[in-house]
Homo-oligomer: A and B are copies of this chain.
């Protein structure tokens, strides 16, 4: 673990340890969130998601970083990551954009390929296009995938996603508390113990970070917590719904319903999404026909922020950490607070026993 933390810090020398990253949340993690996190000694991930047009943001970010650089950025590197939802986006176009960029993103986060072996072409494509400057991060949710991907793609980092995570993830998985150490053991036994692990799913504050560190993580990723930063590109209605939700195991659940209602298609069968429950879900449970539920959803969309109000129906992807979040805070402040609190807990260590 000691060497893992050092590996990450030497790869991303503007960051502090344990590494705090922001998830490449599709449609949500844009320039503002990404740069705020990286400017506060974290690693922000820009969501390319399934939309190649988002790659244009690399230019804007390059300009912004040229005008106001982040100290300790290695030459030729953009001190941010980019996140791809592999099943839904063209590898060749992604590769060509990275290839033509004067500076390369420090990391590419790969998630949800149509077939696991598609990650082989993604990994080598991005490595070639960036002359090895863009590190390959792969997100998985089972021990079998961790091993398979380690063997076939030799990733620089593995992101281990547990069942508490918001938005898309495996419908059938365990939480970090057993998944992370089991992955660590299996990887180590198979000769991949050098790969740093990033913990994702249910972490929303310094306690979660310190906890993940004890499980063997060299860093962590948060999504839901950053939804409650002004930099997240979501409406105030969505943000408010996340803030109001508490008792995260009860107020959220994993389901495919919201993708169906809002017409998000193409996710491989094994994925669903964790969301804050609302009338769309409860009506579904009551047996309201899907067509009618979709119509009501459409009505709700027209309401704007009110679509997440008292009679909320709109998709509110978020993790079980919702109840740990009780205020809106700038993303950079979140990174600093969480990092400081985690270090305090880890330094205290065993002194209270």
Q: Is A178 close to B, CB under 8 A?
A: yes
Known interface pairs A142-B249, A211-B212, A349-B349; A202-B182 also in contact (CB < 8 Å): no
Contacts A349-B347, A353-B18 given; does A324 touch B248 at CB 8 Å: no
Q: Is A130 an interface residue (CB 8 A)?
A: no
| Contact (Cβ within 8 A) B182 A164 | no
Question: For the side of the interface on A, what is the size category?
Answer: 35 or more
Rounded to whole Å, the gap between the CB of A338 and the closest CB of chain B is: 12
Is the pair A320, B248 in contact by a Cβ cutoff of 8 Å?
A: no
A257 to chain B, nearest CB (A): 15
Given contacts A163-B163, A353-B5, contact A175 B177 (CB under 8 A): yes
Q: Are B177 and A211 in contact (CB under 8 A)?
A: yes
Question: Min CB distance, A235 to chain B, in Å?
Answer: 24
A172 → chain B closest CB, angstroms: 6
Query: At the interface, yes or no: A181 with Cβ under 8 Å from chain B?
Result: yes
Q: A163-B175, A182-B324 are in contact. Are A349 and B350 (CB under 8 A)?
A: yes
Say whether A249 contacts B207, CB under 8 Å.
no
Q: Which residues of chain B are near A2, meaning CB under 8 Å? A: 351-352
Give the nearest-CB partner of A185 in chain B. Answer: B324
Set of chain B residues within 8 Å of A176, measured between Cβ atoms: 175, 177
| A223 at interface by CB-CB < 8 Å | no
A319 lies within 8 A of chain B by Cβ: yes
Name A249's closest neighbour in chain B (CB-CB): B174
Determine whether A78 belongs to the interface, using a CB cutoff of 8 Å to chain B. Answer: no
Q: Are B352 and A349 in contact (CB under 8 A)?
A: no
B323:A143 contact, CB within 8 angstroms: yes
Q: Decide yes or no whether A144 CB sits under 8 A from chain B.
A: yes
In the bound assembly, the distance between CA atoms of A203 and B181 in angstroms comes to 10
Known pairs A163-B163, A345-B214, A346-B349; A144 contacts B247 (CB<8 A): yes
Check: A208 CB closer than 8 A to any chain B CB: yes
- A38 to nearest B CB, angstroms? 19
Closest to A170 in B: B249
How far, in whole Å, are A201 and B145 apart by their CA atoms in the complex? 23
